[in-house]
Chain A
Amino acid sequence: PALSEGWSAEKDFKAVGTLSGATQRNLEPVGPHFLAHARRKRHQRTFSEDERI
């Protein structure tokens, strides 16, 4: 983090760009973390929703 001078934005947040795309790849359907990911995807849950269950 760096000090700033004369910087201002609404609610202290300023969007200046977007991500430059993604590559489509296959995940390996192996391991506990993948299974958790698959569960979220099949039930269309988000991380926090998943944690609550």
Chain B
Amino acid sequence: MSDETNGAPGRFAIGISFGNTSSSIARINPEGKPEVIANEEGDRQIPSVLSYIDGEEYHGTQAKAQLVRNSKNTVAYFRDYLGKDFKSIDATPCHNSAHPQPHESTVAFSIVDSTNEAPSTVTVSEIATRHLRRLKQSASDYLGKEVNAAVITVPTDFSDAQREALIASANAAGLEVLQLIHEPVAAALAYDARPEATVTDKLVVVADLGGTRSDAAVLACRGGMYSILATAHDYELGGSSLDKIIIDHFAKEFIKKHKTDPREDARGLAKLKLEGEASRKTLSLGTNASLSIESLADGIDFGSTVNRTRFELLSGKVFAQFTGLIEQVIQKAGLDVLDIDEVIFSGGASHTPKIAQLARNIFSEKTNILAPSTFASAINPSELAPRGAAIQASLIQEFDKEDIEQSIHPMVTATPHLKNAIGVEITSGEAIEFKPLLNAETALPARRLAQYSAPKDGGDVLIRVCEGVREIKVTKPEPKPKEEKPEDDSDFDSDEDEEEETREIVWKTEKPIAELAVKGVKAGSKVELMVHVNTDLGLQITAREVGGQNAVRGAI
């Protein structure tokens, strides 16, 4: 909690999400909830753009507006250039703003940022510093207190050089970087830190659909701790791919009427981009969006509307790329869509209702799709990363620097994870069923407690602790639909499709670990089992009747 009275001397931390397209700042408010801070223009998603006119610096939305009239002195989409050399960057997003140039071992922009006419060479690190300084200023102004530390979110594929460059830029802006955390983990934390959320073991896919790039990650969430199982990236997919569809749609309409292509004129294209993006965002909320641009090309004004159905029709291919990215990351993790318990949509493009609806069709009914159009109490996807960062910032801001460094050291983070699930075999009549207690990919040491109901008439109970693996069972539809076999209706029943084949998760016992007998269990009571796994794979198992005194213990 960001307690104002104590903490490390004079440290006041916020969470920052620093994106190519936009950035956000967040803090923990006095009620203990994360809250995204608006800048002085009232924006919570602050465009990561800087622009200079007559030596004056413009930032955020004001700077973005300069992309039309003052594109040469406007710097945008620079986050991914940090800590990289010129050869390894993709300069396409900067086509309509100041172009990146090679400069020594890094990337720089040539812009007129002072009152004299000669352009100066500003490195991308310096640009990032200026951007972060403005973010820091906005937060300080809002909070009435000097902000001097931050937790910043970064993509999972950020290299060490990029991390170092970002930390150096932040330090130069007067911000102590407490920690760099990964964007998908920040998003998961933002959801799990809600008071109504409970800590459960689950597999989560975080789809971070940004402006110019999209990332997906599979996280194993076990006992509130996260491990990344797989990541996938698409550097050409994002909100701008959807903007392009809108732009092309309107441009064609314009050509039909006036016989000139507004996209051929740099200024016309910049105007279309700005307004097209606004229309696309409107379509995420409403079913109709209008666009009107003064003097789009050849001095002709243009006004038109587009509805959501048409937009969705035109965007089919791009939507498929988004869902393809999600399917790809699950495959990369060696998992099936049935394994996924939660899909978190994060990033600006996640506001698009159709994308979440398409994801809904991919996953089973049990899977929670956390996006505004599919989940009533979903958190604003644009705010997930900054909220997660703010939560983490409040957790560690009172630690000493040394403590933080020690805690995030690989010695601590490298941990053995269970390969197979551990569970209990339950026999009822003929059927033998495996119920997982500790799931695969659980970080060790770990312990779990569960209660199982004893047979109806009580007596002696045998508990078989086993290792299990999950398999996907495909049931082909039979010509004449019969009733499902009794062993099929486990808890893991997937949706029962009418004509399609049904796929479901079944657990197979891989090998037994231990057997325990709890004797003289009363009728109708329950047996409690605790399994503790050490880092060296040793187990301590305890079983007892609920409310009973005698426990059966054993170690392996």
* Interchain CB contact under 8 A, B225 and A23: no
For the complex, what is the distance from the CA of A23 to the CA of B517, rounded to whole Å?
31
Q: B227, B391, B460: which contacts A28 (Cβ < 8 A)? A: B227
Q: Is B95 on the interface with A (CB-CB < 8 A)?
A: no
B291 contacts across to A, CB distance below 8 A: none
Determine whether the beta carbon of A12 is less than 8 Å from that of B426.
no
Q: Kindly list chain B residues whose C-beta atoms are within 8 Å of the C-beta of A22.
A: 416-419, 444, 537
Interface residues of B in 376-435 (CB under 8 A from A): 388, 391-392, 395-396, 406-408, 410-420, 422, 424-428
| CB pair B510 A20 closer than 8 Å | yes
Distance in Å: Cβ of B61 to nearest Cβ of chain A: 30
Please name the residue on chain B nearest to A36 by beta carbon: B224
B532 contact set on A, CB distance < 8 A: 47
Q: Which residues of B contact A41 (CB under 8 A)?
A: 411-412
Closest to A18 in B: B556
Stretch at the interface among B177-185, B310-318, B321-329: B177-185
Choose from A2, A25, A30 the contact partner of B462 (Cβ within 8 Å).
Answer: A2
A3 to B107, CA, bound (A): 71
Q: How far is the CA of A27 from the CA of B408 in the complex (A)?
A: 9
Nearest chain-B residue to A33 (Cβ)?
B224
- Judge if A52 is at the interface, Cβ distance under 8 Å: no
Interface flags for A2-24 (1: CB within 8 Å of B; 0: not) read 11100111011111111111111
| B185 and A30 contacting across the interface, CB-CB below 8 Å | yes
Q: Is A29 touching B533 in the complex (CB atoms < 8 A)?
A: no
Does A29 lie within 8 Å of B527, measured CB to CB? no
B221 → chain A closest CB, angstroms: 9
Contact (A23, B416) CB under 8 Å given A16-B514, A32-B395: yes
**B90 an interface residue at 8 Å Cβ cutoff?**
no
B443 interface hit (Cβ, 8 Å): yes
Stretch at the interface among B46-54, B269-277, B451-459: B451-459
Could you give, for residues 14-27 of chain B, a 1 whenever the CB lies within 8 Å of some chain A CB and a 0 otherwise?
00000000000000
Number of interface residues, chain B, beta carbon within 8 A: 77
Is B227 touching A2 in the complex (CB atoms < 8 A)? Answer: no
The number of A-B residue pairs with CB atoms under 8 Å apart is: 183
Contact A38 B515 (CB under 8 A): no
**A interface, by DSSP: helix, strand, loop or mixed?**
mixed
Contacts of B464 in A (CB 8 A): 2
Which chain A positions have C-beta within 8 A of B461?
Answer: 1-4
Tell which of A1, A9, A16, A18 touches B454, judged by Cβ atoms closer than 8 Å.
A1
Given contacts A13-B554, A18-B513, contact A27 B413 (CB under 8 A): yes
What residues of chain A lie closer than 8 Å to B515, measured between beta carbons? 7, 9, 13-14, 16
Is there contact, CB below 8 Å, between A31 and B454?
A: no
Query: Which B residues are in CB contact (< 8 Å) with A46?
Result: 445
Q: Is the CB of B416 within 8 A of A24?
A: yes
**What is the distance, in angstroms, from A4's C-beta to the closest C-beta of chain B?**
4
Total interface residues on A, CB under 8 Å, equals 39
B-side contacts of A1, CB under 8 Å: 424, 426, 452, 454-455, 461-463, 518, 527
Which chain A positions have C-beta within 8 A of B554?
Answer: 11, 13-15
With A and B bound together, what is the CA distance between A9 and B185 in angstroms? Answer: 46
Among candidates A18, A20, A42, residue contacting B412 with C-beta atoms closer than 8 Å: A42
Are A28's CB and B517's CB within 8 A?
A: no
Separation of A30 and B227 alpha carbons in the complex (Å): 10
Are B189 and A4 touching (Cβ within 8 A)? no
In angstroms, Cα B461 to Cα A12, docked, is 11
> Nearest-CB distance from B261 to chain A (Å)?
48
Pairwise interchain contact B408-A29, C-beta atoms closer than 8 A: yes
Q: Across the two chains, which residue of chain B brings its CB closest to A35?
A: B395
Whether B516 lies near A25 (C-beta < 8 A) is: no
Q: Chain A: which residue is nearest B223 at the CB level? A: A33
Q: Could you tell me the distance between the alpha carbons of A3 and B461 in the complex, rounded to whole angstroms? A: 5
> Is A16 in contact with B445, judged by CB distance below 8 angstroms?
no
Contact assessment for A19 and B226 in the assembled complex, using a CB-CB cutoff below 8 Å:
no
Least CB distance from B334 to A in Å reads: 11
Contact, CB under 8 Å: B412 / A13: no
A44 to chain B, nearest CB (A): 11
Collect the chain A residues with CB atoms within 8 Å of residue B552's CB: 11-13
Q: Give chain B nearest CB distance to A52 CB in angstroms.
A: 16
CB-CB under 8 A for A38 and B412, given A29-B407, A31-B225, A32-B224: yes
The 6 closest A-B pairs by CB, nearest first: A33-B224, A13-B554, A4-B462, A22-B416, A2-B427, A38-B407
Sampled A-B contacts (17; CB under 8 Å): A1-B462, A2-B455, A3-B455, A4-B462, A7-B462, A13-B517, A17-B513, A19-B418, A19-B420, A22-B419, A23-B417, A25-B416, A27-B225, A30-B185, A31-B185, A32-B395, A46-B445
- Since A13-B515, A27-B227, A32-B395 are in contact, a sample of 17 more A-B pairs with Cβ atoms closer than 8 Å, ordered by chain A residue number, is A2-B428, A3-B462, A11-B552, A13-B553, A17-B511, A20-B467, A20-B511, A22-B416, A22-B417, A23-B417, A23-B419, A24-B414, A24-B417, A25-B416, A33-B224, A35-B395, A37-B412
Binding site for A on B (CB under 8 A): 179, 181-182, 185-186, 189, 192-193, 199, 219, 223-229, 388, 391-392, 395-396, 406-408, 410-420, 422, 424-428, 441, 443-445, 447, 452, 454-455, 459-464, 467, 510-519, 527, 532-533, 537, 539, 541, 552-554, 556
Which residues in A have some Cβ–Cβ distance to B below 8 Å? 1-4, 7-9, 11-35, 37-39, 41-42, 46-47
